[in-house]
Structure 1
Amino acid sequence: MAIRSKFELERYQYGIDIRKTHHIYRKDDKIISFGEWIRRRKDRCIIVEMITDIGKHEAFFYQELNGHDHIIRTFGSIENNFNQIIYIANAMSFIASKSIVHGDLGCRNVLVFKLDSNQPKNNLVKITDFGLARSLKISSISKNYSIIPKRYCALEILRNNDQSSYTEKSDVYSMGVLMWEALSNSEIPYSHIADDNRVVQVKLDSERLNRPPICDRQLWSLMESCWENDREWRPTFEDIKDILSVIKPSEVSDVPTSISSYEPPIGYTFKLNVDVTRNGLLGGRFRKIYEAQWISSRQESIVLIEMDKAPTKYEVSCYTDFNNCRHLINTFGFVENNFGSIMLLQERAPHGHLQELLKNNTFKPSSMVLIDIFLQIIDAMIYIISKGMIHGDLRCSNVLVFQMNSSKPEENLIKLTNFAFARPNEPSLSDDRRVTIPVEYCAPEILRSAGRLNYSELSDVYSMGVLMWEACSQGRLPYDYLISNKEVRQKKLNGEKLPRPWIFDRQIWPIIKSCWYNEPQLRDDFKVIKTQLSSINIESQFQYELNVDVKITNQLQSRHGQIFYNAEWIRKKKTPIILIVLSTETAEHEASFYIELSSYKYIIHTFGLVKNDLRSTMLIQERAPFGNLLTLLQSQRFKPSSKVLITIFSQIADAMIYIINQDIIHGDLRCANVLVFQMDPFEAKENLVKLTNFSLTCTNDPSCKNNRQTSISIRYAAPEIVESAGQSNYSDLSDVYSMGVLMWEACSQGEVPYGNDTSDNDIQRRKLNGEKLPMPKECDRQIWDIIEDCWYNEPQLRYNFNDMKKRLSDFNDE
């Protein structure tokens, strides 16, 4: 393709300055195509690709005769864009010359030092990460199959992971995958498969990667030769360098239509300043949204959407063909204008989009209202799926609110909008537009394909789970604590899920979590999710009614936000009970934690909510015959031996493991929150305690802010919570720290941590200076070792509750 001339020829880059539209002529030595300038020129042109030496001979005459009025004019040459891959092949050739195998070749291990999209030769890349490298002269000491990069490595390594499997040719296989990855917009190989072990089976069954759409015929042939089953047939890196040096680009993917030349397939329905006027800018994160007004007598509230890119045919079909669903935005048509813009006329949502309303606390929907909103979105999605399409970008900001009422579900109306990512419900359909994908919302299989493949109803289900999480988190953006999309992508590909939202109905969380399975086929479809949400009945949480099922006798005690009463069953039940009235701003959610966790043997049993005329949040709980552990210890009524203490600590740790498995933390571990049901100071098996008080319980999410008026006492709080003034850094490991203080308290016979007369400011200073509580006089040395390990300043150095339970069990076995 490179042509030189004595005239002033320029150098152009394919895909940046010029592109092909379609082929005119093709032979082995030459390809002629119509060309189209992207920038710098407007002349009509063709592209002539010279591939063989005969072609180069012809190019010589083009350059020598250029400039005559009656001889075809040559504008310039088009650069070879494979320089970076040649650099990698060159580096790998050097590595192979040293009898070294890299062992982990992939785009992720290629660092970019210089980047110039206009001049390929100005780019510089370097190979890194020799963690799996090995010398062919020295026998390898590692045969760890789990660390093999299974998607990238050669077949012989998958079959037999021994020293003889690693050669220059095994790195050549990976080089083929690297080239495929580079031309596939960094798609992860075999992106449609989540499990690496399944990838191994597919590769051993001879299933190869598909040819990337923008891949040159000759480059694809080179890649395939790198993947030969018999490694002796694969090229060397020197061969790869030679081949790459003569390859010229000959095939390209479709290029999006420019805005100025775009014509709607359905034509223009309206004309600006004839049918409608464009008024002030309303906003718009993705596209500009303008207030609009009818010039005619039509009364509908409208907006003009100005598109920065030409819409796909799929997006247009969503606006034109989806007209029988109440929960999809109504589109009137395209608007012809003199600004060279693409304008779409749509109905206006009086309240804006859901994410903004939630984030600004303008809209604080109840659980039942949220469920109704989710059902409306799902109805829209079921309709879209029935048309053979998916939405592709489900999120709260793409949900417009037309009617809203925080407490009455029937007075809410939402509509789904923004179909820029809409496409057919076909996971194998490739999309090579290289658009920016919504990393925070999209499914892992889409991330693995770098946004090219794997879009389906089930990928939209994953996004629906994120949308529900966002709504239940009062508009909090997913992964807002991370700096970059790269971090989000890595966490999602590693299987990390969003934390449980703090304030929402506990029945919704399992439905949200079921949307997030890594394997798409494990997720429920929208019809199943609709059934699940429809079956939730908030009213059914009231299992009892005051003065019908249970009656209050006398008040026992009160503390912040809680009043405890003696109570009796009216109907024939023998279990001793108490009634608790919760009066904090988060009382309903505190009650939901009691109910959710009450089935566990070492957590206080809550029978249920009590319906009452005062509209207070009332709970019935079992009564602990001996009260709380702190009072028993301080009164000297209970002097447990070390063996008994170990049993008590093990039961609390067991309860904490259960709580953390529900994606929440306790938040206020102390002896006062441990109720005693059986006690014997000498016989360990004759003791039973249960954890109580979930007033400070929150999600296991250190980034979550505590906006409540109360927080954990500084005497029990971990240093990271003290540093944040009780506002954040709550995690299972902050509970581990508090557990250490609880054990210290129990071993000290109920002594107050840091003493009764010590101020909070003094305790804060001492904690932040690294000062620890002293070893109690009667404390067993092995227990003390466990306590000390709870108090590391760095949370990640502390044992978790599983480790703690094991150490306590080992103590009991001695």
Structure 2
Amino acid sequence: MAIQSKFELERYQYGIDIRKTHHIYRKDDKIISFGEWIRRRKDRCIIVEMITDIGKHEAFFYQELNGHDHIIRTFGSIENNFNQIIYIANAMSFIASKSIVHGDLGCRNVLVFKLDPNQPKNNLVKITDFGLARSLKISSISNNSSIIPKRYCALEILRNNDQSSYTEKSDVYSMGVLIWEALSNSEIPYSYIADDNQVVRAKLDNERLNKPLICDRQLWTLMTSCWEDEREWRPNFEEIKERLSVIKPSEVSDIREPISLPPTGCAFKLNVDVSRNGLLGGKFRKIYEAQWMLDKGTGSIVLIEINEAPTDYEVLFYKERDNHQHIINTFGFVENNFRSIMLLQERAPYGHLQELLKKHVFEPTPMVLINIFSQIIDAMIYIVNKGMIHGDLRCSNVLVFQMDSSKPKENFIKLTNFALARPNKSSLLEDKRLTISVEYCAPEILRSVGRLNYSELSDVYSMGILMWEACSQGKLPHGSSISNKEIRQKKLNGEILPRSWMCDRQIWPIIKKCWENEPESRYKFQVLQTKLSSINLEPGQIVYDAEWMRKKTSPIVLIVINTETAEREASFYIELSSYKHIVHTFGLVKNDPRSTILIQERAPHGNLLTLLKRQRFKPSTKILVAIFSQIVDAMIYIIEKDIIHGDLRCANVLVFKMNQLETKENLVKLTNFALTCTNDPSFINNRQTSISIRYAAPEIVASRSQSNYSELSDVYSMGILMWEACSQGEIPYGIGTSENDIRRRKSTGEKLPIPNEWNEQISSIIKDCWYMESQLRYNFNDMMKRLSNVNIE
């Protein structure tokens, strides 16, 4: 084939770059059809198929004279894969004549030795990989008899995998699958099913492959005849050769309705409404700094130059969506004289997340990362509710408008780049062959070579990669030394990325859940949001698993404290660590001068709040009294040191032993001294670590300077802690209640509800902790006495 167009001589690939639409006319030596670009170009063209030697002679002059202003410009030629299928059939006919069954026929086992787009007859392919081959003359048991290419093999092999099932006709079945695969751009058969065993069930239930888009009626009839249930009805390879010989390449048509983009128009004009300034960057699309002209608008803007026509889905997304706080604001398209498409968007002052992380300009704590992830997921929930998906979630498509490495609420991001946006419909065949990112996309998309299986759940998979990338400080998934082919194979084999040492232990299980091989096993975005919001991380702290390198064997963790008062906090850990109900701190680690790193003993069961909320620990009243007594015992020790804890709650109680039946088999220890201070009424908390309004005493909540810390303010918080434990980890005042509402309720003396079924003595102790006037509350010594007198029937 040759293409006549105004472009410079360049090679294109049929079915990938260009396709035929409507037939124009046919002469003795050529067929002329309208052409349509699939990617890279958008100008009008025609396709001229040269059939005879005279046509080839004419094509030679078209190319020789190419380039003159008044002679039609010829692009060159297009590769056609049809002849290669004939060569494979010819080779298989020879193999069958030797009474040999290949046993593993598929495009992956066809090697290409020569590829000549101009002369299809010059192409040379050869069949390889006889690891599963069998001889019909020699009865032998193969060492690989248990290995079955389930997506390619015949139905009789799936029903009964023995020697009698392997015949020429079983290879014919696989030949039909190979033809389908070749015409489907190497899409894996049944790509929408992840599990090979489920593929087997589908095939045995007579579920057939769908007709490829580029497929002649005669060729489709041949393929379906190869898949007959009864093998006697299938053609042999000699018959396949004969049937292929009467099908001409020009008859393998690709007549499809082109995707028509809705008329967009240009809302702005370059050098009238906006001006284009310097190049800012952009790997796939160039991004220019821009400026409003003549008071046409306000705010920082950029111009994005798009070399290819945007998909209709991308255009519709920009046109029809409502404004969302976490989606980039797009003003519209800009008319220009550069013959390119320009998109006008707001500018993010800090650029994209991946670059900030990679250059260590932004080193967010886990709490900050969770906040950022929640904003991205919020945008994705909105997009999914609109019936769409993003299609390309990654850190480089997250723009940063506000950032603070230690304050979660001081970060603000927006999602950008909707080039791969499409409907949330996994069965929708993607007509345009857009480049997919192997590192970020879901395995079900790789199985379809980027043509099928796009859904909310494929975006969830990519969200998992995005979170891994952010937790790894912008590290490229799979690294830069591994090829896309290797990444693809790893994903199809079910391999996942390893946990980064920087990734928080509570975030990691959520990331892994995003990577389930079966899409239905992954969380949806709504569930993902809930899971992230339930994570309890202390601000300013990062916890890492660790181990001793010399002799010492006790389990340990490394606590990295990034707050401004890290040294003060560390001093409290060390001073109080010798007590039996306070977490033991071994010492400091010399490392980064910007951070304080502590070595602490590791609690095998984690914190009390998580155990209660996840129903992994359901202590009886008797066990709860024992736990409360240990916490109060720690507080008595702390008060004797003239120190206030400042942040008593279940999340700050580590569980070293737990037993729901034996009281003595429970051991808890107090941790987290971020808000700890000396017992000084004049103390003012002016640190960056904010107080938790839900647990703080009214006198602290009411104080603008957050002063009035005392033993009795800790007693109030102890009452909230006990209520939380008795409620099996329920959040005080509810998860959706604002801090302002909690302040108001506390200032009016409103208290948390206490169910009637709770132990009366425990309920009384809790209530007495919550007096508005702090002097009316019991101290910790009195509380210990009252706990020891609780009667448990």
TM-score by length of 1: 0.62
1:280 alignment counterpart: 278
Residue 137 of structure 1 aligns to a residue in which SS?
Answer: coil
Judging changes above 3 Å, is the alpha-carbon distance between structure 1 residues 456 and 576 closer, same or farther for their aligned structure 2 residues?
Answer: closer
CA offsets, 1:482-503, max 9 Å, x none?
4200000111111111111211
2:20 alignment counterpart: 20
How far apart, in 1, do the equivalents of 2:108 and 2:497 lie? 25
Q: How does 1:21-420 map to 2 (within 5 A)?
A: 21-22=21-22, 34-36=33-35, 81-142=81-142, 146-247=146-247, 248=249, 249-252=251-254, 265-297=263-295, 298-420=297-419
How far apart, in 2, do the equivalents of 1:187 and 1:622 lie? 52
How far apart, in 2, do the equivalents of 1:122 and 1:321 lie? 51
Residue 415 of structure 1 aligns to a residue in which SS?
Answer: strand
How far apart, in 2, do the equivalents of 1:145 and 1:421 lie? 43
Judging changes above 3 Å, is the alpha-carbon distance between structure 1 residues 106 and 15 closer, same or farther for their aligned structure 2 residues?
Answer: closer
Q: How does 1:596-635 map to 2 (within 5 A)?
A: none
Judging changes above 3 Å, is the alpha-carbon distance between structure 1 residues 234 and 25 closer, same or farther for their aligned structure 2 residues?
Answer: farther
- 8 Å contact from structure 1 (residues 505, 589) kept in 2: no
1:580 alignment counterpart: 586
How far apart, in 2, do the equivalents of 1:453 and 1:94 lie? 36
Count residues with an aligned counterpart. 567
Tell me whether 1:429 sits opposite 2:437 in the alignment. Answer: no
How far apart, in 2, do the equivalents of 1:567 and 1:93 lie? 80
Deviation at 1:256?
7.6
Residue 252 of structure 1 aligns to a residue in which SS?
Answer: coil
Deviation at 1:187?
1.0
How far apart, in 2, do the equivalents of 1:526 and 1:334 lie? 31
1:538 alignment counterpart: 537
Judging changes above 3 Å, is the alpha-carbon distance between structure 1 residues 44 and 477 closer, same or farther for their aligned structure 2 residues?
Answer: closer
Deviation at 1:140?
2.7
How far apart, in 2, do the equivalents of 1:47 and 1:577 lie? 80
Deviation at 1:139?
1.1
How far apart, in 1, do the equivalents of 2:79 and 2:330 lie? 45
Pick aligned residue for 2:602 from 584, 594, 608: 594
Judging changes above 3 Å, is the alpha-carbon distance between structure 1 residues 519 and 327 closer, same or farther for their aligned structure 2 residues?
Answer: same
How far apart, in 2, do the equivalents of 1:454 and 1:17 lie? 22
Deviation at 1:277?
1.4
Q: Tell me which moved more, 110-119 or 208-217.
A: 110-119
Deviation at 1:329?
0.6
Q: Give the letter aligned to residue 580 of structure 1.
A: F
How far apart, in 2, do the equivalents of 1:13 and 1:530 lie? 43
Deviation at 1:594?
2.8
Judging changes above 3 Å, is the alpha-carbon distance between structure 1 residues 352 and 77 closer, same or farther for their aligned structure 2 residues?
Answer: closer
How far apart, in 2, do the equivalents of 1:300 and 1:205 lie? 60
How far apart, in 2, do the equivalents of 1:13 and 1:268 lie? 32
Deviation at 1:580?
2.9
Deviation at 1:114?
2.0
Judging changes above 3 Å, is the alpha-carbon distance between structure 1 residues 273 and 200 closer, same or farther for their aligned structure 2 residues?
Answer: same
Judging changes above 3 Å, is the alpha-carbon distance between structure 1 residues 168 and 342 closer, same or farther for their aligned structure 2 residues?
Answer: same
Q: Give the letter aligned to residue 195 of structure 1.
A: D
Judging changes above 3 Å, is the alpha-carbon distance between structure 1 residues 507 and 598 closer, same or farther for their aligned structure 2 residues?
Answer: closer
CA offsets, 1:218-258, max 9 Å, x none?
2111111111111112112222222223323342165988x
1:785 alignment counterpart: none
How far apart, in 2, do the equivalents of 1:592 and 1:86 lie? 69
Residue 436 of structure 2 aligns to a residue in which SS?
Answer: coil
2:621 alignment counterpart: none
Deviation at 1:378?
0.3
Residue 289 of structure 1 aligns to a residue in which SS?
Answer: strand
How far apart, in 2, do the equivalents of 1:540 and 1:478 lie? 27
How far apart, in 1, do the equivalents of 2:384 and 2:175 lie? 40
Deviation at 1:584?
4.5
Q: Tell me which moved more, 312-321 or 108-117.
A: 108-117
- 8 Å contact from structure 1 (residues 578, 620) kept in 2: no
Residue 332 of structure 2 aligns to a residue in which SS?
Answer: strand
- 8 Å contact from structure 2 (residues 589, 599) kept in 1: no
- 8 Å contact from structure 2 (residues 333, 344) kept in 1: yes
How far apart, in 1, do the equivalents of 2:175 and 2:24 lie? 34
- 8 Å contact from structure 1 (residues 176, 224) kept in 2: yes
Tell me whether 1:520 sits opposite 2:522 in the alignment. Answer: no
- 8 Å contact from structure 2 (residues 193, 444) kept in 1: yes
Q: Give the letter aligned to residue 200 of structure 1.
A: V
Q: Give the letter aligned to residue 339 of structure 2.
A: G
Judging changes above 3 Å, is the alpha-carbon distance between structure 1 residues 591 and 103 closer, same or farther for their aligned structure 2 residues?
Answer: farther
Deviation at 1:128?
1.0
Q: How does 1:446-461 map to 2 (within 5 A)?
A: 446-461=445-460
- 8 Å contact from structure 1 (residues 323, 330) kept in 2: no
CA offsets, 1:340-393, max 9 Å, x none?
111111111110000000000000111111111000000100000010000000
- 8 Å contact from structure 1 (residues 91, 127) kept in 2: yes
- 8 Å contact from structure 2 (residues 305, 341) kept in 1: yes
Q: How does 1:699-738 map to 2 (within 5 A)?
A: none
Deviation at 1:181?
0.9
Judging changes above 3 Å, is the alpha-carbon distance between structure 1 residues 194 and 593 closer, same or farther for their aligned structure 2 residues?
Answer: farther
Judging changes above 3 Å, is the alpha-carbon distance between structure 1 residues 486 and 237 closer, same or farther for their aligned structure 2 residues?
Answer: same
How far apart, in 2, do the equivalents of 1:308 and 1:506 lie? 43
Judging changes above 3 Å, is the alpha-carbon distance between structure 1 residues 196 and 592 closer, same or farther for their aligned structure 2 residues?
Answer: farther
2:438 alignment counterpart: 439
How far apart, in 2, do the equivalents of 1:509 and 1:162 lie? 44
- 8 Å contact from structure 1 (residues 269, 333) kept in 2: yes
- 8 Å contact from structure 1 (residues 403, 413) kept in 2: yes
Deviation at 1:33?
7.8
2:546 alignment counterpart: none
Residue 35 of structure 1 aligns to a residue in which SS?
Answer: strand
- 8 Å contact from structure 1 (residues 13, 119) kept in 2: no
How far apart, in 2, do the equivalents of 1:78 and 1:294 lie? 45
Judging changes above 3 Å, is the alpha-carbon distance between structure 1 residues 585 and 527 closer, same or farther for their aligned structure 2 residues?
Answer: farther
- 8 Å contact from structure 1 (residues 23, 34) kept in 2: yes
Judging changes above 3 Å, is the alpha-carbon distance between structure 1 residues 255 and 400 closer, same or farther for their aligned structure 2 residues?
Answer: farther
- 8 Å contact from structure 2 (residues 132, 144) kept in 1: no
Judging changes above 3 Å, is the alpha-carbon distance between structure 1 residues 452 and 622 closer, same or farther for their aligned structure 2 residues?
Answer: closer
Deviation at 1:592?
8.9
1:604 alignment counterpart: none
CA offsets, 1:97-147, max 9 Å, x none?
111111011111111222333432332221111110111111131386641
Residue 602 of structure 2 aligns to a residue in which SS?
Answer: helix
- 8 Å contact from structure 2 (residues 153, 171) kept in 1: yes
How far apart, in 2, do the equivalents of 1:79 and 1:370 lie? 48
Q: Give the letter aligned to residue 537 of structure 1.
A: N
Residue 36 of structure 1 aligns to a residue in which SS?
Answer: strand
